[in-house]
Amino acid sequence: MSDNKSYFPALNDVMTAEHTLAEILNPTPLMHNRNLSERYGAEVMLKREDLQMVRSYKIRGAYNKIRSLTPEQTASGIVCASAGNHAQGVALSCNRLGIAGKIFMPVTTPKQKINQVKMFGGEFVEVVLTGDTFDEANAAAVETCEREGKTFIPPFNDPRIIEGQGTVGLEILQQSRTAVDYIFVPIGGGGLASGIGSVYKQMSPQTKIIGVEPAGAAGMKLSFERGEVTELDRVDKFVDGAAVQRVGDLTFDICRQVLDDIVVVPEGKVCTTILSLYNFDAIVAEPAGALSISALDLYRDKIAGKNVVCVVSGSNNDIVRMEDIKERSLLYEGLKHYFVVRFPQRAGALQNFVSNVLGPHDDITHFEYKKKTNREKGPVLIGIELQSPADFEGLTARMKSHGIDYEYLNDNPNLFEFLIG
């Protein structure tokens, strides 16, 4: 293997990783999806990494990296920092290989994820909760490595991690009955895209590799545009499996060589995809796992009649998030609208609004009186769900014709965040 500055994953190293991973996992299925194929007029197949034991592809890189350590390194123990899938991959690897591991997680990590890490790690893993953010937990993990002489297991910016993730590409090659025209891959730190892309550029260079990032954490695209790794000033953590502030140096260099395009998808669109996968295909995808499928609309014309693979990278989705996911989807699709309505303080004002302003299929889903500002009018926060986005124009027209004093919140992000959160 060459030095890191000029590193590019060699096929032999990815094949070695595949042999190593056979100790712990079986290939995940490449499944034809009828609903998506009919919708886009293409042959759409899903690479189901959500069916891994730890419900994400992260076990591949973690196990391959840990398995490559020297006896001295394993005896000293390992450390990682993660609030999600990487932690679970490291924990299971420690358990299977009998290696002591410390996993640092922010104190804000959901209890469900903490319990999953403890379950996979068993007696071999100690979970350390520290700091309010990933960066603080990561700093504590690095400090522990230096103080105790342990080995740090990075989430993506490492050759062995990248080669482990590259085995996803080898499996797609082996499982595909026909040549693949497009592969859509989610990007967080870039390990998965680097691994799959490097395999395909060596084995099937005509296949186009499309990276997909969430709009609130499009670090790789920004780095591409600036020609160097660029840290994001702010990250929307909703798509938590891809919410990375700074992509890797190695992964950036590799992705520049192997990606044909990077597309950015709004978080609301991701939510719509999650709900669609659940309702029509009984697939429970986490936000990052739905990224690749969410990008298909942006490539609708190009993929028509083509063979397409979308990598469903994971399914660690907490059930308590579903209400938030539904809300974000409705807002994105133009089906949910919020207003502050100042009703006259007289009998019948609300009844007039319900009877004469709301359409036959409009539903009030949120109604909250705010503090009165004067005796004549009382402000109310109202959320209205529509049957079709086209109904919005009629709703606002009726509000104006009936003299309703209102303020629309959806296109006022600061006020929306303050009142609705």
d(CA 334, CA 332) in angstroms, rounded, equals 5
Give the pLDDT of residue 12: 98
Q: pTM (2 decimals)?
A: 0.92
CATH 3.30.70.260 fits 334-419, yes or no: yes
Q: What is the pLDDT of residues 353-386, one digit of tens each?
A: 999 999 999 999 999 887 665 566 788 999 999 9
Give the pLDDT of residue 318: 81
Domain 78-149 in the same topology as domain 4-57+163-325:
yes
**Residue positions counted in the chain:** 421
Residue 392 is which amino acid? F
On the question of pLDDT at 208 being above 60, the answer is yes
Give the pLDDT of residue 270: 98
Lowest mean pLDDT, pick from 87-91, 97-101, 170-174, 234-238: 234-238
Q: Which of 21, 45, 14, 55 is nearest to 169 (CA)?
A: 14
Catalytic residue positions, numbered = 58, 313
Q: Hey, where are the domains in the chain?
A: 4-57+163-325, 78-149, 334-419
Lowest mean pLDDT, pick from 8-12, 88-92, 128-132, 215-219: 128-132
Query: Which residues have CB under 8 Å from 118's CB, separation 6+?
Result: 91, 125, 127
CATH 3.40.640.10 fits 4-57+163-325, yes or no: no
Averaged pLDDT of the chain: 93
Q: What is the pLDDT of residues 272-324, one digit of tens each?
A: 999 999 999 999 999 999 999 999 999 999 999 999 999 999 998 888 889 99
Neighbours of 60 (CB within 10 A): 31
Give the pLDDT of residue 421: 65
Span 78-149: which CATH code?
A: 3.40.50.1100
